[in-house]
Structure 1
Amino acid sequence: MNTQFANPMRETPGFGLACRSMTAVAACALALLVQGCANPSYTITPEAHAKAAKAQPVAPKPEDFPALDKAVWKQGDFANLDNLRQMRTGMGKDQVRQLLGWPHFSEGLWGVSTWNYIFHFRTGKGAEFVTCQYMVRFNGDMLTEGMYWKGPDCELLLNPPQVRPVAVVPPPPPVARPAQKVTLGADGLFKFNGSSMDDLLPEGRNKLVRLAQDIRGNFKSVHYVLVTGHTDRLGSDAYNEVLSQARANTVRELLVQNGIDRKVIRTTGMGKRQPVSECAGSEKTTALVQCLQPNRRVELEIAGEQ
Structure 2
Amino acid sequence: MSEEVRAKRKETKVLAEMFDTRQVAIKLPARVVVRGVRKAIAEKDSLKPRVANRAGKVGVELDALTRVRVRLWLDALTQKAGCAVAELPVRYEMPETARFDLYDTLRRKPHPSTLRAVDLAEEKNEARAQPFRGTSLIYQYGPGALELWRVLEGKQRICRNVLNGEFRRVFSKEALRWGVPFSKKVDALMRAVPGAASADMLSILNGDAPHPVTLQFGEDIQQRDDGAREIAIETWQSHVVTAIAVWQIAQVTKDSFLEADFLLLGMLAGPLEVIFPKLGDWLGAFVHALILEKTATKNPERHAIIKWYATGKMQAAAPAIKG
TM over 0.5, yes or no? no
Q: Considering Cα pairs closer than 8 Å and 6+ residues apart, tell me whether 1 or 2 has the greater RCO.
A: 1
- What TM-score do you get using the length of structure 2 for normalisation? 0.21
Higher CA-based Rg:
1
Give the number of the structure whose residues are more often helix, by fraction: 2
TM-score w.r.t. the length of structure 1 is 0.22
More strand by share: 1
